Chain A
Amino acid sequence: MNIQAQQLSVQLGGRPVLKAVDLTLHSGELLGLIGPNGAGKTTLLKLLAGLIKSQSGSLQLDHQVLLAIPAHERAKRIAYLAQHSQVSWPLTVRRLVELGRIPHLDNWRKTTGLDRDIVQQVMEATDILALEHRRFDSLSGGERARVLLARALAGEPEILLADEPVAALDPSHQLEVMSLLQAHCRNGGAVIVVLHDLMLANHFCQRLQLLYQGSTLAEGPPGDVLTPDHLKQAYGLQVSDEARIDRCFLLPWKMK
C-alpha cells in the first residue's frame, strides 16, 4: 500500500491554503504532520481523506486516483479521525465503536458476529472495555479520545488519518494514544497524524513533514526536520541547546 501525492494545491475562499505540496506514505509508516496553526495540516489531511478536492496536483492510492475510487471502497481502506469530533446522540461506548463497522455494511445488513468480534478486539486494544455501557457524553476527555480512536480503528483501515488526536490530553493519555497509533503501523497499517507536540512527533514518528504557510518546509526523519533553523522559520522559536541531545528533543517521560 502506498499514497503518492504530488503538487497538491487547494484554495479556500480564494485564499491559497496549500501550495504544491508533495506527500508519500508507505505501509508501516507513522508520518507526523507538524507546523504552526493555519499551515494547512488539516486541509492536507482532509484531501487525503477524500473530503475535499484539490484545485491541482495528483493524489493516488496504490497508483489509482484517490477520488476515482468509490467512496464506500475508500472508506474501508482509509479512516479519518476528525479534530473536533462531535457526537450528536449520547450512544453507549460499544454502540459508538460499532459505528466504525459501517463502511463494511450494506444498506440493509446489520452487524454480524464477525463485526462484533472486531469491535471487541479494538476495544480491548484501546483499553475501553470497562467503559462499554457508559454513555459517550459521560466520559472524560481522555476516554472520549480513546473511544473515537477505537471507532476509527474498528473499520480495520489500512490508513488512519488522525487530526490532533492528542490535543487536550494529559501526558499519560498522550503517550497511550501515540502508542496505539504506533501499534497500528507495526501491524502493517500506516498513520498520518497531525501533531503540535514536537517532542511526541520526534519520539514516535518515523518521518515528519513540516508545513509552513501551505508549503512543505522540511520533510524527512525527525532529526533532519526539527532543526533550529526550521523551527525558527516555521514557529519563530529559538531552541535552547540544552533541549537537544544528538540533534533530537528529549521526551521527558514514558509510560510505566
Chain B
Amino acid sequence: MKSLHSINQRQLLVTLALLLVLLAISSLLIGSEPWPMIQALFSHPDQRSSILALILTEVRLPRVLIATLAGATLGLCGAAMQGLLRNPLATPGLTGSASGAALGAVIALYFGLSSRFALALPVAGMFGSLLAMVLVYLLAGRDASVTTLILAGVAINTLAMALISLLLNLAPSPYAVQELVLWMLGSVTDRSLNDLWIMLPGTLLGWLLMLGCGHGLDALTLGEETATSMGIGLNRLRWQLFIAIALAVGSAVSITGSIGFIGLVVPHLMRPLVGYQPGRLLTISALGGAIMLLLADLAVRLIPAATEIKVGVLTAVVGAPFFLWLIIRSRRSQT
C-alpha cells in the first residue's frame, strides 16, 4: 500500500508536467489572430520561415514562458504562504505581497527608474513585496485567526492601493496613467525575451528557497512548538519564505502586473491530491499554477472581445467567487 501512495505522487507529477508541456506547445500555436500563422505558412518559403520564427520567438515564446514562470510562482507562493500560516486563505494577494510588489513596481515605473536600469523594476517589486508581507505579519501575529489575517491583509492592501492611486493621481500625463493602469491589470502579452531575462534570476532563486522549506512546512503541521522540538528553526523558516516569496512575486508582478487568485485557488485544488501535506504541495502547486495561468492566457486570446481581456482581469473575475465560496465554507466548518 505504501508504494501505491508514492507511485500516485509520481504519476500526479508526471501528469501535470505533461499537461504543462502540452499547454505550452498549444499556447505557442494558438493565437487571437490565427491569420499570421496561416499567412506565414502559405507565403513564400523564404519569407515563411522568417515570419514564423519571428512570431514564435519574439511574440509567442516570451508570452508562454513568462506565463509559465509567473503562474508557477503564484501557485508555489500560495502553497508556501498557506503552509507557513497554516491557513488555506493565505495567499500572496491576501497577505500583501502582491500589492506591495505592485506598489514597488509602480514607483519604479513612475519615477522612470526602470528605463534607466532594467533590474530596477523587479528589485522595487521585491522590496515592496517583502515590506508589505512583514507588515501584515507583524499586524496579524503568528497563529493569526482567519479574521485577523484578512483584516491585516486588507489594511496593507488598501494602503498599497491608496499609494498607487496617489501616484496615478499625480501622474504628469493621461498617457502615463493609462500605461500604469493597463500594466496593473495584469497581462503576459507584448512581453519580450528581455523581460524574461529580467524576471528569471529572482524567480529561480525564490523557487529554490521555497522548495527547500518542505520539511519545515510539514513539521509546522504539528504546531510551532512541536516543529521547534523537531529541529526546525522557525525564525529562519519564516524569513527564508518571506524573502523567497518577495523575490519570486516581486519578479513576477513587476513583469506581468498583478494577477490575482491563482495563488489562492491552485493550492486549494491541489491539496487533496497530495494528501494535504504542505511540503508535497509545493511542487504540485507550482505546476498547477503554471497550467492555470497558461489556460487563462489561452482563454483571453480565444474569448471574442473588442479589446483583448487582460489575463489578470480574467483570473480575478473567476477567482473572486471562488474566494467567497471558500469563506462561506470555512464559516460553515467553524460553526
Contacts and interface: CB of A to CB of B under 8 A. Distances in A.
Given A91-B275, A102-B218, A80 B226 contact: yes
> For B1, B86, B215, B231, which residue has the most chain A Cβ atoms within 10 angstroms?
B231
Contact of B222 (A51, A74, A87): A87
Interface residues of B, number: 26
B86 A88 contact: yes
Contacts of B232: 71, 102
B322 to A, nearest CB: 20
Contact of B215 (A102, A116, A120): A102
A240 interface: no
B223 A88 contact: yes
A95 B231 contact: no
Contacts, number: 84
Interface in A184-229: none
A210 B73 CA distance: 54
A2 interface: no
A85 B227 CA distance: 11
A94 interface: yes
The A interface is mostly helix, strand or loop, or mixed, namely: mixed
B192 interface: no
A95 B221 CA distance: 11
Contacts of A79: 229
A253 interface: no
B222 A94 contact: no
Contacts of A105: 215
B110 interface: no
B223 A95 contact: no
A77 B291 CA distance: 43
Q: Which of B214, B215, B229, B231 has the most CB of A within 10 A?
A: B229
A17 to B, nearest CB: 16
- Which of A73, A99, A107 is the most central at the interface, judged by chain B CB atoms within 10 Å of its CB? A99
B276 interface: yes
A41 interface: no
Interface string B92-121: 000000000000000000000000000000
B223 A71 contact: no
Interface in A81-98: 82, 85-92, 94-96
Given A107-B212, A107-B215, A133-B1, A91 B230 contact: no
Interface string A102-114: 1101011000000
A89 B215 contact: no
A10 interface: no
Contacts of A103: 230-231
B220 interface: yes
Nearest to A151: B222
A49 interface: yes
A72 B231 contact: yes
A78 B228 CA distance: 11
A35 interface: no
A75 B232 CA distance: 9
B231 A88 contact: no
B221 A89 contact: yes
Nearest to B85: A88
Contact of A92 (B220, B222, B275): B275
B189 interface: no
A76 interface: yes
A46 interface: yes
A91 B2 CA distance: 15
Contacts of A86: 222-223
A46 B230 CA distance: 13
A137 to B, nearest CB: 10
B233 interface: yes
A108 B212 contact: yes
B278 A78 contact: no
Contacts of A151: 222
Nearest to A106: B215
A80 B230 CA distance: 8
16 contacts: A49-B229, A50-B228, A51-B229, A71-B233, A72-B231, A75-B229, A79-B229, A82-B225, A85-B222, A90-B276, A100-B230, A102-B215, A102-B219, A102-B231, A120-B2, A132-B1
8 closest pairs, A vs B, by CB? A75-B231, A80-B229, A72-B231, A88-B86, A89-B276, A71-B231, A107-B212, A103-B231
Interface of B: 1-2, 5, 86, 212, 214-215, 218-223, 225-226, 228-233, 271, 275-278
Interface of A: 46, 49-51, 71-76, 78-80, 82, 85-92, 94-96, 99-100, 102-103, 105, 107-108, 116, 120, 132-133, 135, 151, 155
